[in-house]
Amino acid sequence: MTQIQNFIVTESDVGIRIDKFLSSKMTDFSRSEIQKFNIVRKDGCKVKLSDKTKLDDEFIVEIQQKISDKAIDNISKDFDLDILYEDDDIIVINKPRGVVMYPSAGNKTGTLVQNLLAYTHLSALGGETRPGVVHRLDKDTSGVMVFAKSDMAYRNLVKMFSIHDLTRKYIAFAWGIPNWGGADIVGNIARSSRNRQKMTMVKTGGKSAHTIVNVADVWTKANISMFRCTLLTGRTHQIRVHLSSHGFPVLCDELYGRPTNHLGGVKDSELLSFLQNHHGQMLHAEVLEFKHPVTGEQMHFKSQLPADMAELKEILDDIQC
């Protein structure tokens, strides 16, 4: 992917190093990144970046943003993108359940990144196989996601997620009826020593994790609750681990849900059939709020429940009646 930019030296910029001049104009790139670009004068002569600028100098900068072959192999439109918002810097989509984020050893094709690249460009700063990726959702978690298209957006979004200067809310259907309306779940999370695919709560070590959980609905006859979970940190499997460790495993979660412990108590045949035949935890990224990484405008996105979770809610409502 190539982008061309032109810069003309005015009186206020005369007499400074060319690389310093260009970095002052291209604030979304570091000076070391700029040095890697193809930079020529208007007449086509190569530029020496340590030279000083002169009045009316015109520099043409060819920005090469390279995406690794690992990322662009087999780019294809395997499913329709549900685009909630798009501009030159970001794209916000509603991720479907069952889709892997980016190519990996066991998932070479059909990933979300490959489908996005078939539609638009993404910032190369994300790395070889993760262009534009500033956060992730598990394969079987659906909901709102933002990707960076420009490098400035990528840098600023990464910073927002690292200090958690944004709002992320999820909907989870889980086993159990709490005796509280809301709770703060705080506890460090680390990778399990018994199963490297799992995360677990630990008393020492790991990374701090904080989830605010509020009860959104309960179905006492089915022993199922719907929680609205707000992330104050962003650890791997955080909501699934926190809810499960406190006795409320997410429905259809094969890793943390312990389904055999609960299915035996399900009396309703329609609910039992749904739970036995559905794949993928009942967890959905409902709300994402953040300041636009370039304009600073406050952005708010909300995704409706996906069809499978809406179907589950209908079944539960019918049982409760």
Positions annotated as catalytic residues are 138
Pairing between β-strand 283-291 and β-strand 142-148 as defined by DSSP bridges? parallel
B/e letters for 266-294, b = 16+ CB within 10 Å, e = fewer, are: beeeebeebbeebebbbbbbbbbebebbb
Residue 227, classified by CB atoms within 10 Å of its CB into exposed (0-12), middle (13-18) or buried (19+), is buried
Q: What does DSSP assign to residue 285?
A: E
Q: What does DSSP assign to residue 1?
A: -
225's enclosing H/E stretch is strand 224-231
Are 245 and 236 in contact, with CB atoms under 8 Å apart?
A: no
Are 194 and 164 in contact, with CB atoms under 8 Å apart?
A: no
Residue 95, classified by CB atoms within 10 Å of its CB into exposed (0-12), middle (13-18) or buried (19+), is buried
Report DSSP letters for 14-61, one per residue. TTSBHHHHHHHH-TTS-HHHHTTSEEEETTSPBP-TTSBP-TT-EEEE
* d(C-alpha 168, C-alpha 181), whole Å: 20
Residue 319, classified by CB atoms within 10 Å of its CB into exposed (0-12), middle (13-18) or buried (19+), is middle
How far CA 177 is from CA of 112, 220, 281, in Å, comes to 35, 7, 18
* d(C-alpha 44, C-alpha 164), whole Å: 46
